[in-house]
Amino acid sequence: AAELEANSRRPYVIPVGGSNAIGAIGYVAAMFELVEQMAEQGRAIDHIFFATSSGGTQAGIVLGANLAGFTGKITAVSIDQTPDDQSDEKFLAGVCREANLAAVILETDVRLAVDDFHTNYDYLGAGYGVVGDLERDAIRLLARTEGLLVGPVYTGRAAGAMIDLVRRGAFTADETVLFWHTGDDAALHAYAKELL
């Protein structure tokens, strides 16, 4: 990028995971769409689950929820870091910073605090990209019962966390829990041996 800039070019550097305020705005719009669709159907969502790694999705969903009036709980499931790898406070401070930068771009007065974000670190298994029983079982269950493909790295881990919590009774029978599929099912092919 520096070399291009030295030659009067204007490169756009995409951060790790595409996580920045611009990327977060896409999920702000998605939250507005979700809230609108639920209102049209006369339905409510009590809890949203999704995978988080670099935090851009989390920044956008939480900011979007705040702006769109979503009142349910939001849980991001970490797929690659523990609070020891990168302290929860430091990680969430970065997520919060990106959300607030997105709020500035959107010209809203809303500002979020670190306490507005919740990350679950309980389902890391053997580490990033290592498929365990949690991911394998979630991939198979969702494919067999819902026709839904989730990937082994991100969505499979987050879906596995949600399924485990459902099985352990973390939700009541009348609660509506939404799993937000953020992609990565194309990685299934790369993990064929681990999944068979």
Distance CA 39, CA 33 (A): 10
- Helix runs in 42-132, H state only: 56-68, 88-105
pLDDT-derived band at 188 (thresholds 50, 70, 90) equals: confident
In sequence order, the 6+-apart residues with CB closer than 8 A to the CB of 106 are 25, 28, 67
Q: pLDDT higher for 13 or 3?
A: 3
Residue 19 is predicted with a pLDDT of 82
| Average pLDDT score over residue span 26-32 | 98
Residue 82 is predicted with a pLDDT of 67
- Indicate if the pLDDT at residue 178 is higher than 80: yes
Secondary structure, 3-state, 167-192: HCCCCCCCCCEEECCCCCHHHHHHHH
Quote the pTM value: 0.89
Q: Structural domain boundaries of the chain?
A: 2-195
Tell me: the pLDDT tens digits for 115-162?
A: 999 999 999 888 888 889 999 999 999 999 999 999 988 999 999 999
Residue 71 is predicted with a pLDDT of 95
Tell me: the pLDDT tens digits for 72-112?
A: 999 999 998 766 655 677 888 999 999 999 999 999 999 99
Long-range contact list for 32-35, CB < 8 A, 24+ apart?
32/64, 32/67, 32/68, 34/68, 34/70, 34/178, 35/65, 35/68, 35/69, 35/70
Please state which of the ranges 97-101, 174-178, 182-186 shows the lowest mean pLDDT: 182-186
Architecture of domain 2-195: 3-Layer(aba) Sandwich (3.40)
Tell me: the pLDDT tens digits for 43-64?
A: 999 999 999 998 999 999 999 9
Residue 162 is predicted with a pLDDT of 97
pLDDT-derived band at 176 (thresholds 50, 70, 90) equals: very high
Using alpha carbons only, give the angle 68, 75, 29 rounded to the nearest 5 degrees: 30
